[in-house]
Amino acid sequence: MTNNLFGFAAGDTWLHRLSGATKLLAFVGISLIAMASYDTRFTAAIVVMSLILFKMAHIHWRQIRLVVKLILVFSLLNLLTVYLFSPEYGVSLYGTRHLLAGSGYFTITQEQLFYELNLALKYVVTVPLALLFLITTNPSEFAASLNKLHLSYKISYAVALSLRYIPDIQHVYHQISQSQQARGYELSKKAGPLHRLRGAAQVLMPLIFSSLDRIETISQAMKLRRFGRDKKRSWYMDRPFAAADWAVIAGTAGIIVVGLLLFRVNGGRFFNPFR
């Protein structure tokens, strides 16, 4: 389906062949250090690395365009809100004030723009990593990897079901949307925003009830198969750690160490170019 928000897409790149546990550890580790650091050079380098990995994973724009657009809108709204509530927070943060425009409450300073640039980079840095993880990780193999990390197989299986359900719920959404459009609810770009919002509400309720019905069906099927009776279980798609997995884990540890060392160099989490 070309209209998917995101979901696992089979491939034969080295990123696809990594263990799900490796990709999870890398995603969590790099995301945490990138969110903690306000060093623009460090987060920008991680953004560049993420885009290179995107290219290597052969991920196409059509697979991610909708989710990227949604995140972009929410990010811009958040940046605008930060400015409206505290236009000179960057001034208090960096200790200097270089006025570019404005007067009174609403001013534009170099410090505030630099602070909001750092916030924007934080939004950008986590999105490619999350999409890489979701698109290149087979849910069944990921569940086996989580269990290998001594996480309960019940929780591992629940995570796998959640990831596997993403493409299904998108497919159901498009089916319901097309049905509603056939009944006269215009949801395309031709309709106005309010009309499209009312049409989307007509899709939401059937989607919720359809999802609840699917959850009940899966729950009953698992109970009939006595899922959870034993303390352990075997995995059909278990993948052992290879040399590439250990190399990625070592690289992730190296990135975290660099981020922590920058805390010491900068005298804290913030890189201040105005000093």
Give the residue extent of every domain in the chain: 14-266
Q: What share of the chain is helix, strand, coil (3-state, %, to 5)?
A: 70, 5, 25
More confident call, 44 vs 201: 44
- pLDDT above 90: residue 252: yes
Tell me the pLDDT tens digit for each residue of 69-112.
778 888 888 889 988 888 888 888 888 888 888 777 888 888 88
| DSSP character at residue 51 | H
Whether the Cβ atoms of residue 8 and residue 142 lie closer than 8 Å to each other? no
CA distances from 237 to 23, 131, 147, 250, 273 (A): 16, 22, 12, 24, 49
CA distance 98 to 33: 29
For the chain, the average pLDDT equals 80
Q: What is the pLDDT of residue 57?
A: 84
Q: For residue 225, with 0-12 CB atoms within 10 Å meaning exposed, 13-18 middle and 19 or more buried, which class applies?
A: exposed
- pLDDT above 50: residue 2: no
Band (pLDDT 50/70/90 cuts) for residue 274 is confident
- pLDDT above 80: residue 245: yes
Q: Which of 12, 33, 31 is nearest to 256 (CA)?
A: 33
